[in-house]
A and B are shown apart, each in its own frame.
Chain A
């Protein structure tokens, strides 16, 4: 098993009355793209800021690269690159100057720095904009500049806090691909998001957090195996009588079936012919139906099953 890079144990953080982090436990290993997934306000940013020793915390232990993280752990900080939720660049410096400025806080040697800045510019595809001021950049380009400022010094551990918020799909894909490339080049990534699709797409391991608690941790497949649900069948039906619904519910692998607004939603656990069995009952009772979908569980199902609520709140923003 590879080395542990970040270890968060029993982390508790309170803002006055509100407990933002409630005994959070996370371990991140070298080479992972680790996803921190949770709805808005679940404590992702708070966890990151505690990890970075920017916020103080009430209880717990945080180790990075095997050493206790403190505000003056400069050797640890040297190895970390952070891309915060809010864009942090100086307005009156050009793209190049901004990257050079932030890179210079880590890399003293001028020649090496110049090369690093150049690489960061190329990596984020900002070649054509090096002389631009941030105000002249579009939202997506600005995010890319923000990322370039955070990674130019080639950190071993890169932390990204919702880097794709308010970014158009094209820029978003570019960012996601970039993150994977950074990972291939050897960096360990911590990625927070409330977009499940993104997390599913790029993360090798995922922690789902809700109300400051870590409710599940593992790879996508591990997480999906944790839950009862293995298949969700959705069928468009105009009218359905309660007898038919009762018959479907009594099928062996079906543990829940709900009919509302022209949709019959059936949750199954195990079994291989669930869809065929359901359709057979509909045929038998002479129910006509429209489109039929069968879906494997998503992270949303994982979240839904563990917390009893939907995570899809700000989808597609």
Chain B
């Protein structure tokens, strides 16, 4: 009976069009969007070789000329300079051939059309140049032999700034979006969990009534449905994780089995909460479905799926939410593996999730323990 019910409920679950969409496709689609959105940031080499800048000399400036000359000569120059007069430069900027125009007059100024990563790199380069310019001109006046060295130093400094703004923690910051995405795939299990409960209740669905009339122990039927829901969700988490790890090739640390295990724990938590929602109260299945969807989205919101810095913000204002929000806990599992590399903390989060699941499942069973109904 257990296996029979399990088989058919699982079949029924995975064929559900909206489940397939929300549970399986949505994370993949969203993941692809994230990937495209963050794509440029990942490809840092490309940015560096592709920033085109137009340079217009209204007035000669030996120091600036030699700085950019030096930069052009360098192997890994982030910039490509194009010398032009004012009109040409503006035309290039309008066409998008260059990201900015540096005009060399008494002052050195920057003209851009829009703001973005490339523009801010150019700006930081100019700021750096301006702050170092005096030193360089002093050196060139007093000790011309050190001139090259000074320009090299300036160049190195600029290089450091640029690298800094693009890597160092920031890469991880974007990776967290993908971890949150797997978290979401796991927590959508709430919806599947709702059905595993309502499909067994005579007062909530016709299917439930039919099952109640069959000569089978309720506890066994419900456990079987719960297992079917868990397996359904596990499939979806495995698909989402595999997609993130092997198709998008997001680096989540070396311990791949542990990453899958984390997803499984998350899916279990999602199912449990959904099972409880499905068991509690007499609202219709559609209402319960909506409640489950909203709660899972809200949990994900609090853990930073939509707004990246939500979680640190909550950590500051009301840390207890991060201790019990299942979405925060699930994504913490991933952070423990990838960023912190901390198994003690991993264990703590995993145990918390399992305790939460146990509470909800027990609650669900207690609420549906009655054998006959007052109302149908």
Question: Is B214 engaged at the interface, CB distance under 8 Å to the other chain?
Answer: yes
Contact between A93 and B215, CB atoms less than 8 A apart: no
Contact of A77 among B1, B215, B373, B374 (CB under 8 A): B215
Contact between B213 and A93, CB atoms less than 8 A apart: no
Contact of B212 among A54, A87, A92, A149 (CB under 8 A): A54
Question: Is B206 engaged at the interface, CB distance under 8 Å to the other chain?
Answer: yes
Closest to A149 in B: B210
Residues from chain B with Cβ under 8 Å of A92 in the complex:
11-13, 15-16
The smallest beta-carbon distance between A153 and chain B, in angstroms, is 9
Contact between A78 and B372, CB atoms less than 8 A apart: no
| Number of residue pairs A-B, CB distance < 8 angstroms | 87
Contact between A56 and B372, CB atoms less than 8 A apart: yes
The smallest beta-carbon distance between B285 and chain A, in angstroms, is 12
Closest to A93 in B: B12
Q: A101-B8, A105-B4, A106-B215 are in contact. Are A56 and B374 (CB under 8 A)?
A: yes
Q: A54-B202, A105-B5 are in contact. Are A88 and B373 (CB under 8 A)?
A: no
Q: A90-B12, A149-B210 are in contact. Are A74 and B373 (CB under 8 A)?
A: no
Question: Is B249 engaged at the interface, CB distance under 8 Å to the other chain?
Answer: no
The smallest beta-carbon distance between A96 and chain B, in angstroms, is 11
Contact of B206 among A56, A86, A101 (CB under 8 A): A86
Task: Tell me the dominant secondary structure on chain A's binding face.
Answer: loop
Contact between A71 and B371, CB atoms less than 8 A apart: yes
Contact between A88 and B210, CB atoms less than 8 A apart: yes
Residues from chain B with Cβ under 8 Å of A268 in the complex:
none
Contact between A77 and B207, CB atoms less than 8 A apart: no
Contact between A52 and B8, CB atoms less than 8 A apart: no
Contact of A105 among B1, B371, B372 (CB under 8 A): B1
* In the complex, chain B residues 255-309 whose Cβ is within 8 Å of any chain A Cβ: none
Question: Is B135 engaged at the interface, CB distance under 8 Å to the other chain?
Answer: no
Contact between A15 and B1, CB atoms less than 8 A apart: no
Task: Please encode chain A, from 1 to 40, with 1 for each CB lying within 8 Å of some chain B CB and 0 for all others.
Answer: 0000000000000010000000000000000000000000
Give bound CA distance, A37 to B371, whole Å.
28
* In the complex, chain B residues 25-54 whose Cβ is within 8 Å of any chain A Cβ: none
Contact between B210 and A84, CB atoms less than 8 A apart: yes
The smallest beta-carbon distance between B353 and chain A, in angstroms, is 30
Residues from chain B with Cβ under 8 Å of A56 in the complex:
372-374
Contact between B12 and A80, CB atoms less than 8 A apart: no
Give bound CA distance, A105 to B7, whole Å.
12
Contact between B8 and A97, CB atoms less than 8 A apart: yes
Residues from chain B with Cβ under 8 Å of A104 in the complex:
1, 4-5, 8
Residues from chain A with Cβ under 8 Å of B1 in the complex:
104-105, 108
The smallest beta-carbon distance between B161 and chain A, in angstroms, is 57
The smallest beta-carbon distance between B235 and chain A, in angstroms, is 15
Most B C-beta atoms less than 10 A away, residue of A75, A84, A87, A90: A90
Question: Is B216 engaged at the interface, CB distance under 8 Å to the other chain?
Answer: yes
Known contacts A77-B215, A88-B207, then 15 further A-B pairs from the complex at CB < 8 Å, ordered by chain A residue:
A15-B375, A53-B371, A54-B202, A54-B209, A71-B212, A71-B372, A77-B213, A87-B206, A88-B209, A93-B8, A97-B8, A100-B8, A104-B4, A105-B211, A106-B215
Interface of A with B (CB < 8 Å)?
15, 49, 52-56, 70-72, 74-75, 77-78, 80, 82, 84, 86-93, 97, 100-102, 104-106, 108, 149-150
3 tightest A-B CB contacts, nearest first: A88-B206, A71-B371, A74-B215
